[in-house]
């Protein structure tokens, strides 16, 4: 028979709130209930103890206190590096919903972005385009120039001019009749291209007198080439006479960022980093108008087909129209939320395209 132990219960003294001054500082409901519990005498009956077993019944006050202690423990935080690793693993990627079909090739592409199938011809960013009646030429940070045919729906590459510029090309222009083109490389060199028998080739009659220019423009017949220099000069060359320089217009020394020649060849206009726009008379060699209205750099100028209006735009996000006969500002066109990099008129002069 197992031995039965006898547990002796000693009388517990009575506690009062006065004996616990530290608890009086707490004003929470949980501490108030705890003080009420401790102020009452604690009586333990001998019948509450069963031989071999001791059962202690905790009142509800202690369970509430335990929950408050658990809530005080801070939660486990995820480090920034771990969040980054999860994002890189693809857990934080969102589905791309703005998918459209390219109107040129029909392949899916993201909205408001170039089609990767159409521009896959260049390994670097495309900086400029030159349009002819049947083709358009594209230049980029790569050394080659691409010729695309516009007679077919998908604009396939008709020709690739390899090693045109060693470190890339930033400007390329073409005459309106599509017989001649000119390009400027990042090294400052200018090259002329002739279109014969359906193929573009470098013009061997060009003696290389043109150089150290930024923006260029060809006249409609391809005879004259105008360019801006880094010191603010505007120069015009006659390509039919061995690229002889016939004009050298001086400005206030501001860097020329864009240039255009009117369709009749009478005027040359340039836009500068200072925000100024100048119109030069090619016949007299004088500057009849120095136009204001744009404070920020001017990145594009374009004559209307009739030569009566000149459009200028740039970092100011507005398009200003000037009257070439008087130099007066006739209109301001708004709507862009970013820089305006290019301007082009329709063949009738009714519409103006900006981008």
Q: Of 113-122, 286-295, 339-348, which gets the smallest average pLDDT?
A: 113-122
pLDDT at res. 8 = 43
Query: Does some domain include residue 31?
Result: no
Place of tokens 């220099």: 229
Is the alpha carbon torsion for 329, 335, 339, 343 positive or negative? Answer: negative
Q: Give the tens place of pLDDT for each residue, 73-85.
A: 566 677 778 777 7
Domains: count for the chain: 2
pLDDT cut 70: percent of the chain above it: 70
Same-domain check for residues 220 and 290: yes
With contact defined as beta carbons under 8 Å apart, do 235 and 245 qualify? yes
Same-domain check for residues 258 and 315: yes
Query: Does some domain include residue 111?
Result: no
CA dist., res. 149 & res. 104, Å (int): 12
pLDDT at 195 over 80: yes
Same-domain check for residues 194 and 216: no
Q: Smallest Cα–Cα separation from 240: which of 267, 218, 262, 213? A: 218
Residue 290: its H or E element: strand 289-291
pLDDT cut 90: percent of the chain above it: 0
Q: Smallest Cα–Cα separation from 164: which of 137, 192, 187, 145? A: 145
Same-domain check for residues 221 and 196: no
With contact defined as beta carbons under 8 Å apart, do 186 and 170 qualify? yes
pLDDT at 106 over 60: yes
Same-domain check for residues 228 and 289: yes
Mean pLDDT of the chain: 75
Same-domain check for residues 162 and 225: no
Q: What is the pTM of this model?
A: 0.63
Q: State the residue range of the domain holding 173.
A: 119-205
Same-domain check for residues 220 and 315: yes
Cα 60 to the center of its chain, rounded Å: 63
Of 188, 205, 222, the residue at which a domain comes to its end is 205
pLDDT at res. 98 = 77
Same-domain check for residues 126 and 161: yes
Same-domain check for residues 182 and 228: no
CATH number, position 270: 2.130.10.10
Of 156, 180, 205, the residue at which a domain comes to its end is 205
pLDDT at 39 over 80: no
- Return the higher-pLDDT residue of 124 and 3: 124
Same-domain check for residues 218 and 142: no
Query: Does some domain include residue 234?
Result: yes
Query: Does some domain include residue 35?
Result: no
SS3 5: coil
Of 173, 205, 237, the residue at which a domain comes to its end is 205
pLDDT at res. 13 = 45
Same-domain check for residues 226 and 328: yes
Please list the residues that pair with 279 across neighbouring strands: 269, 289
- Return the higher-pLDDT residue of 338 and 42: 338
Same-domain check for residues 145 and 255: no
CA dist., res. 315 & res. 318, Å (int): 8
Q: Of 58-67, 265-274, 329-338, which gets the smallest average pLDDT?
A: 58-67
DSSP, res 283: T
- Return the higher-pLDDT residue of 71 and 15: 71
Query: Does some domain include residue 322?
Result: yes
Q: Of 111-120, 126-135, 147-156, 236-245, which gets the smallest average pLDDT?
A: 111-120
């Amino acid at each position: 028979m197992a031995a039965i132990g006898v547990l002796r219960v000693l009388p517990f003294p009575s506690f009062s709130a006065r004996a616990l001054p530290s608890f009086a500082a707490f004003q929470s409901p949980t501490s108030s209930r705890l003080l009420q519990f401790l102020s009452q005498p604690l009586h333990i009956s001998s019948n509450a103890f069963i031989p071999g077993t001791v059962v202690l019944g905790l009142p509800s006050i202690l369970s509430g206190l335990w929950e408050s202690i658990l809530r005080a423990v801070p939660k486990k935080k995820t480090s920034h590096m771990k969040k980054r690793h999860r994002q890189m693993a693809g857990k934080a990627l969102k589905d791309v919903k703005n998918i459209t079909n390219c109107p040129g090739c029909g392949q899916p592409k993201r909205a408001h972005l170039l089609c990767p199938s159409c521009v896959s011809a260049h390994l670097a960013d495309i900086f400029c385009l030159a349009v002819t009646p049947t083709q358009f030429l594209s230049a980029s940070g790569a050394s080659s120039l691409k010729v695309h045919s516009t007679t077919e729906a998908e604009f396939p590459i008709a020709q690739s001019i390899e090693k045109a510029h060693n470190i890339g090309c930033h400007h390329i222009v073409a005459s309106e009749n599509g017989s001649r083109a000119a390009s400027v490389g990042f090294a400052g060199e200018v090259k002329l291209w002739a279109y014969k028998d359906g193929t573009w080739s470098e013009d061997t009659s060009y003696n290389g007198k043109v150089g150290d220019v930024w923006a260029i423009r060809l006249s409609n017949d391809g005879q004259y080439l105008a360019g801006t220099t880094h010191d603010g000069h505007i120069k015009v060359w006659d390509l039919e006479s061995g690229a002889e320089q016939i004009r050298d217009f001086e400005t206030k020394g501001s860097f020329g960022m864009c240039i255009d020649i009117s369709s009749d060849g009478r005027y040359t206009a340039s836009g500068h980093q200072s925000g100024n726009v100048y119109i030069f008379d090619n016949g007299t060699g004088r500057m009849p108008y120095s136009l204001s209205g744009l404070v920020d750099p001017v990145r594009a100028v374009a004559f209307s087909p009739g030569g009566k209006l000149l459009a200028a735009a740039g970092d100011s996000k507005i398009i200003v129209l000037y009257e070439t006969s008087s130099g007066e500002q006739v209109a301001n066109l708004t709507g862009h939320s970013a820089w305006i990099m290019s301007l082009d008129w329709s063949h009738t002069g009714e519409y103006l395209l900006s981008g």
